[in-house]
Structures are given as C-alpha cells and as structure tokens.
Amino acid sequence: MNNIYFNEINELIKAKKWETIKSKLPKLLPPDIADIIKTLNSEEVLILLRLLPQKKQSDVFAELDIETQSYLVKNIEKKHLQQIIEELNPDERTDLFETLSPKLTQKLLNIVSQDIKKEILKFLGYPENSVGRMMTTEYVALKLDWSIEKAIQHIKKWGNDAETIDMVYVVDYDWKLLDDIPIRRVLLAEDNFYVKDIMDHHYISINANEDQEKAIKLFRKYNLVALPVVDERNYFLGIVTVDDILDVLQEENTEDFAKIGAVDIETKDLGFITDLKNISIGKIYKSRITWLFTLLIMDLLTGGIIQGFESTIAKYVVLVTFLPVLVDTAGNAGSQSATLIIRAMALGTVQKKDWLFLLGKEFLVATLIGITMGAGISIMGIVRGKSLIIAGVVVISMIVNVIIGSLIGILLPFIFSKLKKDPATASTPLITTLADIIGTGIFLGIAYLILG
C-alpha cells in the first residue's frame, strides 16, 4: 500500500471522519487494512472493522495476528462475531480455533451454527500439523454421468464460493474421489460429451492424517495448484490449495530459523519473529533463555577440560593462542555439514537410512578440508610457536577437529530425526558448543601426548 494513502487513512481516523474512511476502505486490500489496524487503539479497531462490508470484515479478520483476533472475539457483540467467523474459509477458521484459548474457543463454538460447529470439531480432530487441519471443503465436485452442459451450469452456480476452480473434482454417488479435471478441459469439451468422456483417471491425492510436509513435497514434485484430500477409503474430504502450502512453508521456514538460532518458540507463537517490535520483553526473554542457559552449562565443561590440562598449558602458554581458531573452525565445519544435511532432509533427497553412507562421504570430505586447513595454520604454528613440534600439534589438532566437527554436524540431524524431533533442532549454537567442548579436549589431549 502507498505510504501516502496509509498516512491519509490514519489522519482521517485521528480526525474521526468515519464516513470518509468508509468510502475509502473498499479500495484497499485486506492485508493493507490489517496493517492499518495494527496502528490503532482498541476502540478504533472495533469502529474500523464495523465500517467494512460483511465479507471484507472476515477477510481482514483472517489477516490479523492472534492477539488482535482474540481481542475482537472478546469485545465484538455475538451476532456480529458469528457473521465474521462463519464468513471465514474453513482452513482460516481452523487456524483461528487452534490458536485461541480454550475459553474463547468455547465461546465461539456456542455462537456459530450447528453445521459450522460440526465442521470445526471435525477439523480439530485431525492430528496437529496434519493435512486435515489445513484443508478446505470449498471446492466444486462433478458426477461422472453428468453432461458437459450440466457440469458447466454447476460450476457457475457454486464456483463463486469455491476456494479455487482451477481444478474440479469427479466423485461417485458415495462421494468417493474418481478424478480431478482442469477447468479448461471442461470448458473446451464438446457439447455432446459427458464428464466421464474427459476423465483420464490420473490424479494425485493425500490422506487427511498425513503430515503437511508430505503435501508440500507433492506440490513441489507435481507442480500442483490444488491437492484433493481423502480418507482411508478414498472418500473425498476437501482440498489443499497452493496458498495454504505457501502459508505452511512460511511458518516452517520461520520455525527452522528460530531453531537454527536456538530460539525456543511454540508453533502458534511463530508470528512474534515477524512482528518483533510489538512483542513483550517477557515473551522474547522466555524464548531465548532456555537454550542459552543450557549452552552455558555445557560451556562450563570446556573450562573444566582446560583446568585438567593446567600443567601442560603452564609449560606451553602459546597453546592457548591457537585454541580459539581450532574450536571455531571445527564449529564452522560442523555448521556447514548440518546446514547441508538439514536442507537435503527437508527436500526429501536424503532419508534416515542414508546416514551411514553420508557419514563415510563426509569423513572423506572433512579429511580433505582438515588437511587444507592444517596446511594453512602450519605456518602460524611455526612462527608463533617457534617450534616444529608445537606446529605439528596444531596441524594434527586442526585436522582431527575439522573431521570431528563435521561428523557431529552430519550425525546430529539424523539423531534428532530418529528421536522424532525436527532435524533443525540440531542448531548452529548446539553444534558450536559441542565443537568447543570436544575440540578443546582433542587439542589439549594431543598436546599432552606429544609435548608431555
């Protein structure tokens, strides 16, 4: 939205020129109106929402963050709230009910119609992060024995309420899925054809209980715009559209970024990363302190290792000057390995069964990298250590540390995956901390063995 227009609307709100605002709001898109609402106080939010046409109120409501949605649920009169909720798309309603507190959820369930209530409860019955939670029931379905003329009339009648009509679906009279058909094939068919004449019986579907990750992979592999959702008996339940997939991808990418940075966030709170300036200090503190404190305890082990080699360090103080570069390089090598493997696992090009093959491959790569890095630090080992023996200690330690750090980076994502945890949990801070502990022990252990 143009900043000038944004400022104009805000000035009109300050002046309380509601009629003028009412005439301008329909020209704005729902995300732009949601941006305006974020700048308003509680009273102004309620007024602005009431100035919108009924359908647009629901569209704007769907774009708001959970805090604003919760405020509106608490403060809008029941009849008005019912209209907004029932105008939402089914997948948007599901998202809302997943994030609201139990008390507000119960309030909404008590005011929506019985049909909507049944639909919400059905969607919420699917496992968390399953396809059933993101599907919508707003689609167009045809019967295979309909004429093309009847099919087109049906599409015209119900198409406006559908999430998409790029694809229409063929079902039998028991509502089992038989095919999906691009809309152009229907529109370009001969007038005397029937729906069964334009079917090819080739379609991709997904079970409602499958994880959203599988849906993402199917969209990528087959370049889909919509994906039909079925149950175990192939009964047609709904569809997932590409815009739903984009929303999930954004959430998962945000979640992965948080885990890579060792920030502890629940899925329903992911919005705070994208709206950081409006989040409370307490919530930011809570999301960061757990991992940082855990890593602090782990880092204390490094100090214990150094203390254990106190006599060696006292005799060869120069060793301390090489410690930071050795453990940092090991941590960086491990982070590189982990980043590559986590991305490959996310794309599905690497499976859990591949761990041994990739471990061996990484060992060879890490050895080559370690030798190269060892050669690079050897000169400094001679110059700073003033001894070929100390230079040898540094070079050997560099090679071993790079290998160990890289193998940690490869193994951790597989270990977390085996434990049914997100591989992204094998974050950079965790790998670098482990590299610090193990790398320090390796370096000082080698120094002790060689130098005494």
Domain residue extents for the chain: 3-129, 141-241, 276-451
Three-class SS of residue 221? helix
Please identify which residue in the block is written with the tokens 């590409």: 242
| Neighbouring residues of 126: CB distance < 8 A, sequence distance ≥ 6 | 132, 133, 208, 209
pTM of this structure: 0.57
Q: Which amino acid is at 346?
A: A
Query: Is domain 3-129 classified as CATH 1.25.60.10?
Result: yes
- Contacts with 86 (C-beta within 8 Å, 6 or more apart), sequence order: 112, 113, 116
CATH 1.50.10.10 is the classification of domain 141-241: no
Alpha helices in 89-211 (DSSP H): 90-99, 102-111, 114-124, 131-134, 148-158, 183-187
Q: Which CATH superfamily is domain 276-451 in?
A: SLC41 divalent cation transporters, integral membrane domain (1.10.357.20)
Which residue, among 165, 193, 162, has the nearest Cα to 180 in the 3D structure? 165
SS3 state at 227: strand
According to DSSP, the β-strands at 206-207 and 177-182 are unpaired
**Per-residue confidence of the chain (452 residues) as pLDDT tens digits?**
556 667 788 788 888 888 888 888 878 888 888 888 888 888 888 888 888 887 788 888 888 888 888 888 888 888 888 888 888 888 888 888 877 876 787 788 778 887 888 788 777 788 878 898 888 888 999 999 999 999 999 999 999 888 889 999 999 998 999 999 999 999 999 989 999 999 999 999 999 999 888 998 899 889 999 999 999 999 998 899 998 888 777 776 666 666 655 555 554 455 555 566 667 777 778 767 777 787 788 878 888 888 888 888 888 888 888 888 998 899 889 888 988 888 788 777 888 889 999 999 999 999 999 999 999 899 888 888 788 888 999 999 999 999 999 999 999 889 888 887 777 665 677 888 888 899 899 999 999 998 87
